[in-house]
Structure 1
């Protein structure tokens, strides 16, 4: 089931997904960096209040995947999308991405934009298969900016 984020119930699991699924890819780029979970948790919670988050939950109502969306005028920015490693390649990322695109279309937005880490080739292939195209490379964050017109 996919539903809106419930902060008191979901934020700990969302922070765990960021820590396990997103940060290891981002920090492969930067050598010898220790990741402080407390900082990650504080930063993620702050970011979650700047937009809308949908979570996919299991039967125990624990999130195993999420997408965080930030509307920006005529463009939707996908800030984060993560799926637990054990449930990847089962369609959950595609469902969440599609939900984000429908969210944007319902608000008359013209495009969806996101950043993907330079070393995350799996995510790059995933987004390309969903119609996202390379717009630019940002060396300061070592990410590609991908966009899809709606």
Structure 2
């Protein structure tokens, strides 16, 4: 059984999240390398600049997480990662919906995120969840996606 909780309740949270970033996100990035010491050194501060919700078994390390923050009415989804062995179980969807709910509670009217062009699975996931591509950045090989967080009809 898994539970959803905030990052930081266990000492192995940060190393596990960094491993997931290195193995699942960074290889898709056009702009960073999984072994870039500057990027890796900045991850603890990056996590401290927002909130992180993790999915983890009752006993054990995180198997997924979403990192996000709010600014000027926007919910910025910074990272969403699920361990490959746990994909297809609804964890990513649950984490995303938790982040969107928190954004709404903090006054965000819209969610925004960026997806690497090569990450076709993520593109399909976000499209299914109501996100729309709004701007492509060819030099970075990423696309910005947005979704209204306002209830329909408002």
Identify whether the pair has TM-score above 0.5, normalized to the shorter chain: yes
Q: Is the 8 A contact 1:19 1:40 kept in 2?
A: no
Question: Which of 4, 7, 11 does residue 5 from structure 1 map onto?
Answer: 7
Aligned ranges for residues 116-131 of structure 1 at < 5 Å? 116-131=115-130
| 1:124 CA drift (Å) | 0.1
The list of structure 1 runs, each at least 4 consecutive aligned residues, that deviate by more than 2 angstroms after superposition, is 37-41
What's the TM-score once normalised by structure 1's chain length? 0.90
Matches of 1:51 and 1:64, distance apart in 2: 19
Q: Is the 8 A contact 1:113 1:146 kept in 2?
A: yes
Q: 2:111: which partner in 1? A: 112
| 1:38 CA drift (Å) | 4.4
Q: Which runs of 5 or more structure 2 residues have no equivalent in the other structure? A: 150-154
Q: Is the 8 A contact 1:53 1:66 kept in 2?
A: yes
What's the TM-score once normalised by structure 2's chain length? 0.88
| 1:34 CA drift (Å) | 5.5
Q: 1:24: which partner in 2? A: 27
Q: Which runs of 5 or more structure 1 residues have no equivalent in the other structure? A: none
Aligned length: 146
C-alpha root-mean-square deviation of aligned residues, in Å?
1.7
Give the structure with the higher percent helix. 1
